[in-house]
Chain A
Amino acid sequence: MTSSSATSRKALSKIASNRLQKELVEWQVNPPVGFKHKVTDNLQRWVIEVNGAPGTLYANETYQLQVDFPEHYPMEAPQVIFLPPAPLHPHIYSNGHICLDILYDSWSPAMTVSSVCISILSMLSSSTVKQRPEDNDRYVKNCRNGRSPKETRWWFHDDKV
């Protein structure tokens, strides 16, 4: 399940496109609480509004997720980033990249856009401080050429937040 930004630019395979259409229909019928899919005609890139859960540090804040699907979705993970401004969170870099295992090594084709969204909201909700990751500046500098977070070798060290 290796990936590169080159493959994610390729058109969706038939199976990917079919699955995404069904996911979208399911989303419209039963959207995950706190999320809103912004309607476009681009099935390969979804922009999703996230509302911080009430009672958490991000209550009453709205952010935008951009989800790009690779040709071989769902065998390959989608690329998920926050559009600027990204929420202040110990696992979210200022360029919008998210350090969350299920988006990379732990992706499973049984996951859906909806389940990924719920995981991200859960990650936000369990945060106790609004701050950037310690290595934010170094990481963001390294990504200046528009590198995909899927090319990053992530190191998942903190399972608390």
Chain B
Amino acid sequence: MGNKLGRRRQVVDEKYTKPQGLYHHKDVDIKRLRKLILESKLAPCYPGDEDSTCDLEECPICFLFYPSLNRSRCCTKGICTECFLQMKVPNSTRPTPCPFCKTSNYAVEYRGVKTKEEKGIEQIEEQRVIEAKIRMRQKELQDEEERMQKRQDLSSSSRTMGEVDHGSIGVLSSRSPVDEEEIVSADQSCSTSMTRQPPHLRTNRDDEFDLDLEDIMVMEAIWLSIQNQENGKHKGLAQSEAAPSEQYVSEDHYVSQATAPLAGSASSPSGGLACAIAALAERQQTSGESSFNHNTTMSTYNVLPNCGQFYPNAVQASDSYAAPEGGTELAHGGGIPMARDDGEWNMDRGSEVAEAGTSYASSDSPEDAGGISALPQSNEVDAGFQNLPAPIVPESFEEQMMLAMAVSLAEARAVASGPGVTWQ
């Protein structure tokens, strides 16, 4: 692009070597200007045309048309020589910024009249910009439509949500010990939980994250179904928090222990969680339960929305659940929000943990299982969860995470056959 071959020396008429009077130029070194123009270092000062004819370029400052323009070195935007002379702020010690891209030390070069190729490239670029603009506009309209749709859904009734809800509970119930009665009650209590539950969600809705309406609905429905499941199990409950949180602490403890030999640090709860989830996901994958895997992923998402600022992570995670390594992705999605300022570390950790999970799943020998023994402990966790005497009202993100994990563990256990059994 910037090669010397592109610049053709042209004989410039003497009268175009000085300003044509577009501006009242002060401090212009006429002699130097003439020299620069004659050396083809600046575009000749042709008088600008008011209107565009085919081969003229418009100066983006004065909006007049010229046979050729100077180009800024930083962003190759065109400018006529007279406008360029105006750019330099007199008596300023600061370097002049490029008027187009703000790069400091604005400088131009002259490459002569644009070649056909250059014009072609420019036309293609313009075409692309126009197409992008059209796409943007379409997206805006679509988003707006969806936003309206969401508002309607929220305000009118929870009928649709209830239906989705019911469906997903059906899926869950085939794998976890939830009976029909609970499903019914879940459906009935749906509208109440609707009003109580999603204040965070609602604010998030208006954010600019592009979430599929369907995704939101499914996430919400599953979240509700878990909530309802809990409510259903412990009907009419006084909300005591001490018991469940104690339970959580001990769960955390178990899981962390499981991580310790592999990850080398038992102190991080996120590592433990990620490990447990990764191991779980891995086990699910090896047992070939793809729909099941999907389920687990979903229950993890719907924990996230309640935790306002981490929503974007949930969105990313939801993109990935279709991927074949859904289990590994899940570990990432779960791990990041907990130690957010330490993203990279966490990512590494996440994959490490996922590998750890793989090694659990593939280890068939009993000695190995005995040494690492992640899964038996997971099952203890599971048991603890199911025998909970008090209601689970997840307050913090961590608790919700725990709950999600516990639910998926319960599911895993319900289907557990094959490898899971040998580990025990």
Interface residues of A (CB under 8 A from B): 1, 13, 15, 18-19, 22-23, 54-55, 74-75, 106, 108-110
Contacts and interface: CB of A to CB of B under 8 A. Distances in A.
15 contacts: A13-B23, A15-B22, A15-B23, A18-B50, A18-B62, A18-B63, A22-B63, A54-B144, A54-B147, A55-B206, A74-B61, A75-B86, A108-B97, A109-B61, A109-B86
Contact of A19 (B62, B77, B89, B99): B62
Interface string B373-398: 00000000000000000000000000
Interface string B53-73: 000000011111000000000
B83 interface: yes
Q: Considering the complex of A and B, which 10 residue pairs feature the smallest CB-CB distances, nearest first? A: A108-B99, A110-B99, A22-B63, A19-B63, A109-B61, A110-B100, A75-B86, A109-B99, A110-B60, A15-B62
A14 B23 CA distance: 9
B119 interface: no
B32 interface: no
Contact of A109 (B22, B83, B206): B83
B64 to A, nearest CB: 7
Contacts of B100: 108, 110
Given A54-B144, A75-B23, 14 more contacts: A15-B22, A18-B63, A23-B63, A54-B147, A55-B147, A74-B61, A106-B102, A108-B100, A108-B102, A109-B61, A109-B87, A110-B61, A110-B77, A110-B99
Interface of B: 22-23, 50, 60-64, 77, 83, 86-87, 89, 97, 99-100, 102, 144, 147, 206
Nearest to B77: A110
Contacts of A18: 50, 62-64
Which of B23, B62, B89, B206: most chain A Cβ within 10 A? B62
Contacts of A1: 89
A152 B399 CA distance: 53
A109 B100 CA distance: 9
Contacts of A13: 23
A1 B102 CA distance: 16
A15 B97 CA distance: 22
A1 B77 CA distance: 22
Nearest to B100: A110
A1 B86 CA distance: 10
A61 B254 CA distance: 56
Nearest to B207: A55
A13 B100 CA distance: 23
B302 to A, nearest CB: 24
Contacts of A109: 61, 83, 86-87, 99
B106 to A, nearest CB: 10
A76 B414 CA distance: 73
Contacts of B61: 74, 109-110
Contacts of A75: 23, 86
Nearest to A26: B63
Nearest to B87: A109
Contacts of B206: 55
A108 B60 CA distance: 11
A22 B50 CA distance: 9
Contacts of B89: 1
User: In the complex, which of the residues A15, A22, A108 has the most CB atoms of chain B within 10 Å of its own CB atom?
Assistant: A15
Contacts of A55: 144, 147, 206
A75 B26 CA distance: 14
A44 B101 CA distance: 27
A23 B58 CA distance: 13
A34 to B, nearest CB: 11
A61 B153 CA distance: 25
Contacts of B86: 75, 109
B70 to A, nearest CB: 14
A152 B150 CA distance: 45
Contacts of B147: 54-55
A113 B353 CA distance: 55
A115 to B, nearest CB: 11
A13 B21 CA distance: 12
B359 to A, nearest CB: 46
Nearest to A23: B63
A23 B97 CA distance: 24
B204 to A, nearest CB: 13
A59 B366 CA distance: 65
Contacts of A19: 62-63
* Most interface-central of A1, A106, A109 (chain B CB within 10 A): A109
